[in-house]
Amino acid sequence: MDWFSSLLDASATNSAANYFPIGVQLIFAAGFVAFMIGFSALVGPKRKTADKLEGFTSGIKSHGNARQPMAIKYFLIAILFVLFDVEVIFFYPYAVNFRELGWNGFLAVVMFVGFFLTGFIYIVKKGALKWED
């Protein structure tokens, strides 16, 4: 019965009034940002020159059309890199907690690596990593 009374005491101290300062701070921050953007638009200089209206190119003169088709291989490699990179991130929690997870955790990681390798072998067999056309 003691844990139940402590639960009731915790819920009584955790009321909506405790979050009022956070709400006021969020409203103040949003208002400050809106005010500063509006103020800078009203007071700031408005000189539109050809140099300012030109696209930023890092000092390199642009040439050709920006809508020129690009090989899909670049996008495919980028997507595959992100996919496998994100899968590798899932090894970190296992490495941190491998003793607590025991054999069930080990078998889950072996299954995960199996799916990982199956997907990689499928990609290699399909020729997604070959650059020759």
pTM for the complete prediction? 0.43
User: What residue ranges define each of the domains in the chain, with the CATH number in brackets?
Assistant: 2-126 (1.20.58)
User: 65 pLDDT band (50/70/90 cuts)?
Assistant: confident
80: Cβ contacts below 8 Å, ≥ 6 apart? 123, 128, 129
Question: Of the candidates 57, 75, 77, which has an alpha carbon nearest to the alpha carbon of residue 66?
Answer: 57
pLDDT, position 47: 84
Rounded CA-CA distance 45/31 in Å is 23
